[in-house]
Structure 1
């Protein structure tokens, strides 16, 4: 297991559904300050791993640590306060709310009912607008989120994550269902944000994106890591070829 004294790590993390172990005693760490990728065949446990780390589901056993603090099984809002933000495989936006209000929902003290009632803090509105400029959809500020393209919704979700100012950002398939131009935009944003000091952990099936973007790649198969290292090393690993191609 690669050491990462101030980053995100798991030891023997396990989660079963019925008789199936979705995450199977996974011990892995991710490089703090870098762009990490978590890849693997469909059904290899990547999203379940994300959900265990971010408090969406509780692991059956094992530990999750972040910056040398045990965060195992904490609720999502406490994980977020610890400095970890995340997106989801399927975009989670409020389709009838404006793009701006979707970003403001990312502020913990701004409850949804307050936004519906029109209560907004000027400093938070300013920050939300700056983030919409950052991700390139500020011209859609007053549009209903449900009218955005799927790629634009991905950018909106990222803006919402950034509203919480996380130190580590976990993205679940940011390129999934997105056109090539917006994939390039998402990749550029990840690089820029990483250069500013944010750590990334990205689950992605787009191998071109993974190999061109990542500093460190971890490969899952059947719920546990089978290989890790720089992209050039991982792509040539026989265990990875077997997991993906059966050869």
Structure 2
């Protein structure tokens, strides 16, 4: 039986989440392009991060379905979503500030506690794998530095290295360019392109429109909790609904 593009990738059907009567995600049906760089854009409060949280198990949707590679993963715990092949970063970096850079990357795939982390810290293969991802993101020279002593941009790279340590097929990035200087934005964009060329799918929430339009293959626009447009960047940027909702014209 032939596997369809929908069965390969991540889709949502009528995904809905309300908070105190406010519908943050409103019957959102989205089919992301497997093997491509997808972007999710929209004005503040349009439901992008809540949508991410519903997909990755951080919060449970009220209704609707999340499917990944043909399987219903709706409401699964975050570690089970990660085990299915979906990794994610957060709008505000989630790192262990008093642990070293190397320890942070090792801890990223160790949900079973301190004892497991200590074992992995003495596993030469795991340590070298962690160092390999630190080299890949460009901060291997900082492996013995405590994470709290990194710049914010370097912390973003550290979080990405931790995501990659789990070897996800699909990577969801929540505002990777937020608060980052232009040089590091370029580095992150280059990494995303390289990793995509190696077969990883990306879904990126981002406010930096220049980055979105230059990086993405497919753009989904949210407004008031639901997708209002989608397509290639050149198509989306001229869509009247997008111009009204997102650009305010």
- Using the size of structure 2 for normalisation, the TM-score is 0.95
Distance verdict in 2 for CA 1:236–1:44, change over 3 Å = same
- Tell me if structure 1 keeps the 8 A contact 2:121–2:127: no
Tell me how far 1:242 sits from its aligned partner. 0.5
How many residues matched?
A: 245
1:48 is matched with which residue: 47, 50, 57? 50
Residue in 1 aligned with 2:208? 206
- Tell me if structure 2 keeps the 8 A contact 1:104–1:124: yes
Tell me how far 1:112 sits from its aligned partner. 3.3
Q: 1:48-103: CA deviations, max 9, x gaps?
A: 00000000000000000001100000000100010000000000110100000000
Aligned-partner SS, 1:72: coil
Provide the C-alpha distance between the structure 2 equivalents of 1:241 and 1:51, rounded to a whole number of angstroms: 26
RMSD: 1.4
Q: Unaligned stretches of 5+ in structure 1?
A: none
1:244 is matched with which residue: 225, 243, 246? 246
> Residue 164 in 1 paired to residue 166 in 2?
yes
Provide the C-alpha distance between the structure 2 equivalents of 1:149 and 1:200, rounded to a whole number of angstroms: 24
Aligned-partner SS, 1:245: coil
Distance verdict in 2 for CA 1:95–1:116, change over 3 Å = farther
- Tell me if structure 1 keeps the 8 A contact 2:35–2:200: yes
Structure 1, 45-54 or 102-111: larger mean CA deviation? 102-111
Q: Unaligned stretches of 5+ in structure 2?
A: none
1:153 is matched with which residue: 152, 155, 160? 155
Aligned-partner SS, 2:50: helix
- Tell me if structure 2 keeps the 8 A contact 1:104–1:110: no
2:106 is matched with which residue: 100, 104, 117? 104
Residue in 2 aligned with 1:193? 195
Aligned-partner SS, 1:90: coil
Residue in 1 aligned with 2:81? 79
Aligned-partner SS, 2:246: helix
